[in-house]
Amino acid sequence: MSIWIAKLLGPVLIVLSIHMVTAPKRLQETTEQFLEDSPLIFVSGILAMLAGLSIINTHNIWEWDWRVIITIFGWAFFLSGASRVIAGRAVKKIGDTFMQQPTMTRVAGVAWGAFGLFVAYKGYG
Coil/strand/helix, residue 59: coil
Average pLDDT, the chain: 92
Give the model's pLDDT for residue 28: 85
What is the tally of structural domains in the chain? Answer: 1
Report the Cα 63 to chain-centroid distance in Å: 22
CA-CA-CA-CA torsion sign (101, 105, 111, 115): positive
Q: How far is CA 110 from the centre of its chain?
A: 13
Mean pLDDT over residues 105-122, rounded?
93
- Least confident among 33-37, 38-42, 70-74, 100-104: 100-104
The pLDDT confidence band at residue 93, using thresholds 50, 70 and 90, is confident
Q: Tell me: the pLDDT tens digits for 44-69?
A: 999 999 999 999 999 999 999 999 99
pLDDT attached to residue 18: 95
Nearest Cα residue to 105 out of 32, 20, 13: 20
Structural domain harbouring 8: 2-124
Q: What is the mean pLDDT of residues 103-125?
A: 92
Read off the pTM.
0.86
Query: How far is Cα 112 from Cα 97, in angstroms, rounded to an integer?
Result: 20
Give me the phi and psi of 60, to 5 degrees please. -95, 70
Q: Taking residues 68-96, report their average pLDDT.
A: 91
